[in-house]
Amino acid sequence: MGGVLVGFAIIGFVIPVGYAVQRSGILPANAPTSLNRFVFFVASPCLLFTVIARADLSVIFSSFLVVTVVSVAVSAGLYLVVSRVLFRRPLAETVIGAAGSSYGGGLTRCGGCRGALGSVRG
């Protein structure tokens, strides 16, 4: 429970700081785009590498992985069928929707991420 509160506290601190920095004009007008690209292409992969490097691989490559893969496939498959057959959405929209639905399905319907990330030792 303490970890959850710390996570919310960090977010609760970062948001007002970002707001204050934007309102004060410290950064140029194109800063949000540049910072977003930096976080997406540099910081997030570094964080992912750090977490995976410290994780117990026997937990990652276990039944959690099988459940995650099956959950992703089922979520994407259901979306594809519903989108193309029932709603007759174009292929491009269906692909984007399937990617979004499978991402959420893989993360929320199994304990794989919690199990893998819970095994990280600081």
In this prediction, residue 104 carries a pLDDT of 66
Dist CA 106 CA 77 (whole Å): 12
What is the pTM (predicted TM-score) of this model?
A: 0.53
Residue 65 falls inside a structural domain = yes
What 3 state SS string does 43-82 have? Answer: HHHHHHHHHHHHCCHHHHCCHHHHHHHHHHHHHHHHHHHH
Residue 101 falls inside a structural domain = yes
pLDDT by residue for the chain (122 residues), tens only, comes to: 788 899 899 999 999 998 999 899 999 989 989 999 999 999 999 999 998 899 888 888 888 888 888 888 998 999 999 999 999 999 999 999 998 888 865 555 444 444 544 544 44
Q: Cα–Cα distances in Å, from 14 out to 5, 6, 11, 39, 41?
A: 14, 12, 5, 14, 20
In this prediction, residue 111 carries a pLDDT of 47
Residue 4 falls inside a structural domain = no
Domain of 78, in residue numbers: 56-122
How many structural domains does the chain have? 1
Q: Cα–Cα distances in Å, from 40 out to 19, 34, 36, 60?
A: 20, 10, 6, 23
In this prediction, residue 122 carries a pLDDT of 43
